[in-house]
Amino acid sequence: MSKKAVTPTLSLKNIRKSFVQGDNKLQILKGASLEIKPGEMVALLGPSGSGKSTLLQVAGLLDNADSGKITIEGKDCSTLKDKARTQMRLNTLGFVYQFHHLLSEFSALENVMIPQMIRGENKSEAEQNAAEILNYFGLKRRLHHRPSELSGGEQQRVAIARAIVNKPSLLLADEPTGNLDPKTAEDVLNILLKASKAMQLSGLIVTHNHELARKLTRIVMIEDGKVIEVKK
């Protein structure tokens, strides 16, 4: 009996992306292809300027590719209009960046409530969900602290909680531990991996840290505008 084909959470096929700089056209992605299966956490490596963040922006529907096909959970997203792209980001994707980008005037709890409120959850349910995930991330005693009252590791844990509170299928993270000391970075990554396993969350994680990358399911890198597999 043949195995049923698994629909990739993310499929990028022959993605090309260029930027115009003065009189020059810089070709960043030159036919990049990548598949991420449900539950896989994939590390994306490459030198500065290689196109890692560009690939992440295209995969997250934050920027348009010049050509190629982007499929998320079997849905062709290559030609979606702005409203549909926004809905896909809100319901299916989660984003984490090197800097936490928390709203300074709101508490940790309120920051994690906001994406749910935008999606239409009522306030009490959003508050309960936010408290649960922050408790899970070890922040039970920090719910009502504002970002300035939290350590760097705590701020990033809040940012990750905010990114996954709506239970996305795919997490896209750009150097999520790049602004942290090695021990805190390891702690944050371990929490992220624990949460991703519990939620069967797929992820594409841009990092320069090879030690952290080896903890993920697979490692790929961008070389000459294309994605290649790397042995751990």
Query: Does 215 map to a domain?
Result: yes
According to DSSP, residue 2 is labeled P
pLDDT at 4: 66
* Beta bridge mates, 24: 21
**Sheet (strand 67-72) strand order:** 24-36, 10-21, 67-72, 75-76
Query: Does 29 map to a domain?
Result: yes
The pTM score is 0.87
pLDDT at 192: 82
pLDDT at 137: 86
- Rounded to a whole number of angstroms, the CA Rg of the chain reads 18
From first to last of its 232 residues, what are the pLDDT tens digits of the chain? 456 678 999 999 999 999 888 778 888 999 999 999 998 999 999 888 888 989 999 999 989 999 999 999 999 998 888 889 988 888 899 988 777 788 999 999 999 999 999 888 889 999 999 999 999 888 989 999 999 999 888 998 899 899 989 989 999 998 887 777 888 888 888 888 888 888 888 999 998 888 888 889 999 999 999 999 887 6
Phi, psi of 68 (to 5 degrees): 110, 175
Query: Does 21 map to a domain?
Result: yes
Give the domain CATH number at 187.
3.40.50.300
Nearest CA to 45 out of 184, 191, 174 is that of: 174
pLDDT at 179: 75
Query: Does 85 map to a domain?
Result: yes
For residue 108, what are the contacts with CB-CB under 8 A and spacing of at least 6?
102, 134, 139, 142, 143, 144, 145, 146, 147, 150, 154, 158
pLDDT at 3: 60
Q: How many Å from the N-terminal Cα to the C-terminal Cα in the chain?
A: 32
Number of domains within the chain: 1
Query: Does 73 map to a domain?
Result: yes
pLDDT at 111: 95
Q: Which two tokens stand for residue 12?
A: 């990028």
pLDDT at 146: 95
pLDDT at 76: 93
* Dihedral angle of Cα 182, 186, 192, 196, to the nearest 10 degrees: 140
Report the alpha-carbon distance of residue 72 to residue 35 in Å, rounded: 10
Query: Does 43 map to a domain?
Result: yes
Query: Does 155 map to a domain?
Result: no
Query: Does 152 map to a domain?
Result: no
Domain of residue 36 covers: 10-102+168-230
